[in-house]
Amino acid sequence: MYGRSIDVSRLYSIDDKIIGTIKPDLLCDDSDNGVDNSILVSPDFTPDTFFMSDRLSQRNDFLAPEERDGEKWITRIVNYELLQLEKEGILERKLRYSVAKHCVQQAHNLLEYMVDNRTVASTLTNQEVPDVIRKVLSYVLFGYPILELPTHRMFNEFAWKTIPSLIKQHFSSKTYSLKGLLLFGIASGLIGLDLKGSSAAASNIASIRIPLKPLWTKQDQYIADSLWAKLSQCVANGLLVDYWNEFEEEVLNNKCNLLWFLDDYIESFFDLFFIQEMLACNQHLRIVVVPKKIKCGNDMTYADVQQALGLVIFKRLNEYISDDRVKISTNGPTMGTVNLRKLSKEVVADIKQSDCVFIKGCRAHELIQGGLNKTTYTAYVVAREFSESETGFDSRLSPLLLFRNRPGEYTYWGFKGRAKRQKVFEDGRTISICYSTLEEHEKRNRIIDPNKSIVELEKLLAIQKDVLDGGYSAPYRLEAQPFVDRLVNQTQANYDSIAHEYKNIRRERPHSVDIRLFQKLLTLAHNLVKDGMIGDSNGNISLLDIGTGSGRDLRYFMQFRDIKAMGIDNSKAFVKILDDLAEKGEIHPNSYLQMDMRNLRFSDDVFDIVRHNATLLHLPVIMRGIGVDAALEESFRVLKSSGLLFVNVKAGIGMDFVDTGEGLGGRFFQFFTNDSLRTVLERNRFKVLEIEKWHEDRPSGRIEWLAAYAQKET
């Protein structure tokens, strides 16, 4: 195939007819046109990245000026690949310019091709472009899009000669922990970045810590010693993001089926050795190793793995393969990254059977994060500009990362936020960053203090408009949700600890204003009953009292024969008090349940009234589907048509974790203005009938309240 010199007059061209015939091969789509959504968190999942059309438009301010020129980038990729073919003697130097010009034009023909009323350029992620360009070159030069171009043959042969012997020499002479072995595997991603080229990484290389070019002509032992010294320096810094304990517990100390996506050729030698040692430590561990199906730059292929298995250092790995504890997939990706929608059905089946997925390489992580419905571990070293933007870490320090994604979790999100956000390092260097970086995400994951949680929520609220306008509502909601859950849990724990004190402070009978407000609500309800809009056939009114607490109001409702009240509270201690009241006959035994107001375990359209008396103020106002909105959505759902909603909250601005000075400890409070209360009610489809402002004098001071009456209209 490579025997002849390339003749410009015999180059193949790409037109719509050809694309229609070989489109899956050109676009590295191994799914056999049958996308399997079963491994996705959501069928409409879209990776948090950008597309080739963004680079071609040159109008996107989230890309730096030098990143926007898609034409220049395509040309650079083509020229780099052709230069490697020239070094292999496949292409004559004098022909490179004319061949490059033709190849660039054919690449544009593919990018402009329409699929479902969209150009290929608008569906092709930035991470996939280098591999698609290689497929174009394969077809243009040889008429076969998945031909393996030997553009990294010399690099891989150099690695083959050096890396296995380096591993044998150093890992056999000294005992390393499994974590230590993994660290070397991560750090090895720095080897040879000076020769791989930035186009392979889909962004400029920002850090070249372990160059190979200066070592190219040196003696083998000198090369090995130099590489080991530099690797050891990087490993000595440890992990900047460290989920080793979680990985050890989940994978190494349990029965586990692990799927491992290999990446670069050099890294994969270290990864295979690490995999071998993991299997030796855990007899209940089974691993599916997924290399690339064909050559994609310098990534390790199935054929490369088979060759590597012939090495002495992998003797035990062969035994594990024979024992069916290891499977080497023959159907890995035909691109240098991992697009969940383009995986072969065989790999999809292996993912379904796995308990955890391990990803090597930032490009793969970028396309998978937030979309895979499996627990995922990712390991790489920050060495390029886009990775800096996503992680918030300085590539000059070559930080090693091992992090864990829960199903659907985004460790960073909002790539387009680079247009609006920057980070300044200690030495004054400034980088553009996403709306939420890995560094920020990890910081948020570890916050326990409620006041710090509120500070982070306020930061998220400050960027909400830009985030939602940019289309990042899903990851934004996922980023904010843990703070809501923590604040709810902290408030619940507080009520569990002071339930009896609360009961004594709030007295046995409702405050006179509470009674007046309830009588007003009851009058509205009775009028609707008369009109036949709510109530049962006997005129009885079903009422859900959310946050019923120590049962004060449930006991008060007992005097109204036409009210059938159900109280809920998320505090176990309050429910225990309600148990005592039920035993004494002071409330009905089946009139209360422990329940979260954001997840009501009732059918739709069952209550005539839903009452939130000083409950919604313990949830933050963020957006639809979370916090206060989640509770109101549930209230709307369980209300009958024309049913009434009563909400009583504290007046004010913002949120705070407050000790009211009554011996009740600190609790989270969301404060409301008339406008903010009306807004949140209306966006959850309630018709606001009235909002009344009132005040209460307590020993701790004067409290301003807002009482809202609203109705469900359908």
Q: Determine the pLDDT at residue 698.
A: 72
Q: Determine the pLDDT at residue 6.
A: 67
- pLDDT score of 249 more than 70: yes
Please state, in angstroms and as integers, the Cα–Cα distance from residue 229 to each residue in 188, 191, 314, following that order: 12, 12, 23
Q: What is the pLDDT of residues 280-328, one digit of tens each?
A: 999 999 999 999 999 998 899 999 999 999 999 999 999 999 999 999 9
Contact 302, 328 (CB under 8 A): yes
- Residue 660 confidence class, pLDDT cut points 50, 70, 90: confident
Q: Please state at what angle helix 473-505 crosses helix 450-462, rounded to 10 degrees.
A: 140
Q: What is the pLDDT of residues 407-460, one digit of tens each?
A: 999 999 999 999 999 999 999 999 999 999 999 999 999 999 999 999 999 999
| 153-409 and 485-712 have identical folds | yes
Residue 700 burial (10 A CB sphere; 0-12, 13-18, 19+): middle
Q: What is the pLDDT of residues 268-277, one digit of tens each?
A: 999 999 999 9
Q: Which helix (H) or strand (E) holds 326?
A: strand 326-328
- Which parts of 138-200 are beta strand (E)? none
Instruction: Identify which has the larger pLDDT, 327 or 93.
Output: 327
Amino acid at 106: Q
Q: Determine the pLDDT at residue 71.
A: 93
CATH placement of domain 153-409? 3.40.50.10880
- pLDDT score of 1 more than 50: no
> What whole-number percentage of the chain has pLDDT above 70?
96
Q: Using a CB cutoff of 8 Å and minimum separation of 24, what contacts does 312-315 make?
A: 312/168, 313/164, 313/167, 313/168, 313/171, 313/172, 313/273, 314/272, 314/273, 314/276
Q: Determine the pLDDT at residue 5.
A: 61
| Candidate CATH numbers 3.40.50.300, 3.40.50.150, 3.40.605.10, 3.20.20.140; the one for domain 485-712 | 3.40.50.150
Q: Of 211-215, 364-368, 529-533, 699-703, which gets the smallest average pLDDT?
A: 699-703
Q: What is the pLDDT of residues 486-526, one digit of tens each?
A: 999 999 999 999 888 888 876 667 888 899 999 999 999 99
- The arithmetic mean of pLDDT across residues 215-236, rounded, is 91
Query: How far out from the chain centre does Cα 304 lie?
Result: 32
Contacts of 709 by beta carbon, 8 Å cutoff, 6+ apart: 520, 521, 524, 644, 645, 646, 688, 689, 690, 691, 692
Domain assignments of the chain as residue spans, ordered by start: 8-142, 153-409, 485-712
User: Does residue 586 sit in helix, strand or coil?
Assistant: coil
- pLDDT score of 69 more than 70: yes
Question: Taking the CA of residue 244 as centre, how many other CA atoms within 13 Å lie in the half-sphere pointing to its CB?
Answer: 15
Q: Determine the pLDDT at residue 658.
A: 86
- Which parts of 165-317 are beta strand (E)? 239-242, 256-261, 285-290
- The arithmetic mean of pLDDT across residues 642-649, rounded, is 98
Residue 446 burial (10 A CB sphere; 0-12, 13-18, 19+): exposed
Q: Determine the pLDDT at residue 337.
A: 96
